[in-house]
A and B are shown apart, each in its own frame.
Chain A
Amino acid sequence: MVARGARVASDGYPSTRRRRIAEQAFRALTLLALLAVVAPVIWVITGIVARAVPHWRWSVLTTNTVGASGGLENAILGSLAIMLGVLIIAGTLGVLGGVYLSELAGFNRKGKQRGAVLRSATEVLAGVPSIALGLVGYLALVVQFHWGFSVLAAVIVLSVIVIPYITRGTEVALRQVPTNYREGAEALGMSTGYSLRKVVVRSAIPGIATSVLIALAISVGETAPMLYTAGWFTGIPKASLFHQPIGYLTYPVWTFWDYPSNQAHYLAFDAALILLVLVLVLLVIARLVVARSQRFAENRRN
């Protein structure tokens, strides 16, 4: 055995020199991959900031879009209104769905957790291209139900897009709650519902909040499904769920970026900057929530 091992080591194995070069190349390529991920991120952010800031006017925040110029107040308020709608609908349904899958689905006779079909459906839905969901929203809600381009159609389609993230995020967060907590609650005589509300869900709140924040970031950045459901509106959003199009921030970027006027370009980049800031703020808050919860967590992950 020893002899065979020695022969392989001397004959079949590359020389130390080659191994050293391979190792150096590996290190270099790893760093290159790192650069290939980090550089575009910085480039995209600085590129948008560098184009938007020189022409930035604060009046963009307080005036409405006129044709392809003017301001973006309508789009900003519209995006915020849509986010609120998504928060209400997708937040409620997504979190409840996650709670059901993690806590209430129970086990079948073989001792496996139920809800496998629902869980698969959630994963599959997350993979369906958002443009297809937007088209379905257009065909079903806008045309068939005669809602027209409307806030509710947009909010429902966006909710369907982000619910899988919230459901899955909630489920994962709940699973990380130690079993001790549940057993402790049961030992104290709490009912399942009471223990869920007061013990289990409460300790999973950071994870749930993170997934909701990320879902909001996704929904504010969607463009294609919005074109099919929300339309576009250059006035302040109206308090009407049906037959009333609404403005949103991705529209000016998508529509005005290749218009032949400078005013349109400025507006496109202003919208891009506001969008970027909004998304980054949401991601940073999500990150802070995670960091805070990990600091106080009993058993840290990794």
Chain B
Amino acid sequence: MSAFVPLVALVLTVLVLAFKAWPAIRVNGAHFLVGSSWKPGNVYGAVSTTGGVAHPLGSSYGAWPAIAGTLESSALAIIIAVPISIGAAFALTERLPRWLAEILRSAIEVLAGVPSVLLGLWGALTLGPLLANDVYPIVANHMPNVPFFSFFRGPTGHGEGLLTSGIVLALMIIPIVASTTRNLFAQVPALPKEGGEALGMTDWEVGRKITIPWVRAGIIGATVLGLGRAFGETIAVAMISGSLLNTITPNIYGTMGTVAATLVTQLDSAFADGTGFEVRTLAELAVVLVVVVLIVNTVARIIVRRTGHLAAPVGGVI
């Protein structure tokens, strides 16, 4: 019977969220996905009713900035994490000295195990200010003012924002992508690789022409899985992003918010809403998050299943 617990929990999760969010979905309408204002309304004042659903007067919810922030920060995380993960996976499987590979393995394990609130603390108080003082201004001042690169120009802020969030998110998904990729590399049979070496190929050529093509789909799957994790990451982003609700950042350094971070930063505000409408709206936001993450994960698992098995985020058991 215990094997049914995850299935039951999954069904209940979807049902509870959908049931609780339904009034909010009706009231907020399509504006919820495209609108840019997040206003709880007058929580202590008059209650208005739309279509039989009570909500504070003047409340209006649009989650587009949070959705955009989620997409931007997760994309950054993937761009940073994937090359590092593949490099680390090569380091782990190829010809590194054993002790060095062992250190790397432990580091990945610890990185996976460090609570996200600690990475958030580090990102907000150590990494963010350091980058904002010493790195971002240099980059911002040297970027040409042309499309795309102009995204890297402008005020660099105090370290809370999109780029810092992306870097910390990257650290959080490296363990997943790196350990999955490592396991995939380990599955590549020795014969083709030895054959390549016998033909005089260098390690790089063996890696690029034999190892990576052999497990390409698996690496893509691991990347998509990391994307799902980045979408859902909450606490660290809530600490580092600046947790803005109503604006989309004009450049890569600006403060922003994500869907998951909004779910936790608006907690107190939601508890204060006597009509319970903001809690329902947060449930709607959670529905959006869960649906997107489930789609992403399903795609990832279909891709990975074709080539091999997933590595665990922690400890190498899954």
Interface residues of A (CB under 8 A from B): 19-20, 22-23, 25-27, 29-34, 36-38, 40-45, 47-48, 51, 92-98, 100-101, 105, 115, 117-118, 120-133, 135-136, 138-140, 160, 163-165, 167-169, 172-173, 207, 210-211, 214, 217-218, 220-224, 227-228, 250, 253-254, 257-258, 268-269, 272, 275-276, 279-280, 282-283, 286-287, 302
- Please report which residues of chain B, range 205-259, place their CB below 8 angstroms from some CB of chain A when the two chains form the complex: 205, 207, 225, 228-229, 231-235, 239
Closest residue of chain A to B300 (Cβ to Cβ) is: A127
Asked whether B17 lies within 8 Å of A132 as measured between CB atoms, the reply is: yes
How many Å lie between the Cα of A42 and that of B239 in the bound state? 21
Q: Which residues of B are found within 8 Å of A124, using beta-carbon distances?
A: 6, 10, 294, 297-298
Chain B stretch 89-114: residues in CB contact (< 8 A) with chain A: 90-91, 94, 96, 100, 103-104, 106-111, 113-114
Binds A, one of B30-38, B47-55, B116-124: B116-124
Measured between beta carbons, the chain A residues less than 8 angstroms from B110 are 41, 45, 280, 283
Cβ–Cβ < 8 Å partners of B17 in chain A: 132, 135-136, 139
Instruction: Give chain A nearest CB distance to B161 CB in angstroms.
Output: 15
A253 and B317 contact, CB distance less than 8 A: no
In the complex, which range does the number of interface residues on chain B fall in? 35 or more
Q: If the complex has contacts A43-B122, A168-B318, A279-B115, are A121 and B234 also in contact, measured as CB distance less than 8 A? A: no
- CB of A52, distance to nearest CB on chain B (Å): 10
Residues A34 and B6 in contact in the complex (CB < 8 Å), given A43-B122, A128-B294, A169-B318: no
Nearest-CB distance from B11 to chain A (Å)?
Answer: 8
**Across the interface, do B20 and A139 meet the contact criterion of CB distance under 8 Å?**
yes
The reply to whether the CB of B68 lies closer than 8 angstroms to some CB of chain A is: no
Which of B71-79, B146-154, B189-197, B278-286 is near enough to bind chain A? B278-286
Give bound CA distance, A33 to B86, whole Å: 8
B interface residues with partner A (beta carbon < 8 Å): 1-7, 9-10, 12-13, 16-17, 20, 83-88, 90-91, 94, 96, 100, 103-104, 106-111, 113-122, 124-127, 171, 174, 178, 186, 202-205, 207, 225, 228-229, 231-235, 239, 260, 263-264, 267, 279, 282-283, 286, 289-290, 293-294, 297-298, 301, 310, 312, 314-315, 317-318
Sorted nearest first, the 9 A-B pairs with minimum C-beta distance are A33-B87, A221-B115, A129-B232, A26-B204, A96-B2, A121-B7, A169-B317, A127-B297, A97-B3
A34 adjacent to B104 (CB under 8 Å): yes
Additional pairs, 6, CB under 8 Å, beyond known A121-B7, A128-B290, A250-B235: A30-B91, A31-B91, A126-B318, A127-B228, A127-B297, A254-B117
CB distance from A70 to the nearest CB of B (A): 20
Given A160-B9, A168-B318, A272-B121, CB of A254 within 8 Å of CB of B279: no
Q: How far is the CA of A100 from the CA of B91 in the complex (A)?
A: 37
Name B126's contact: one of A43, A105, A133, A135 (CB within 8 Å).
Answer: A43
Q: How far is the CB of A76 from chain B (nearest CB, A)?
A: 15
Task: Report the separation of the CA atoms of residues A302 and B103 in the bound assembly, to the nearest whole angstrom.
Answer: 17
A37 touches B104 (CB 8 A): yes
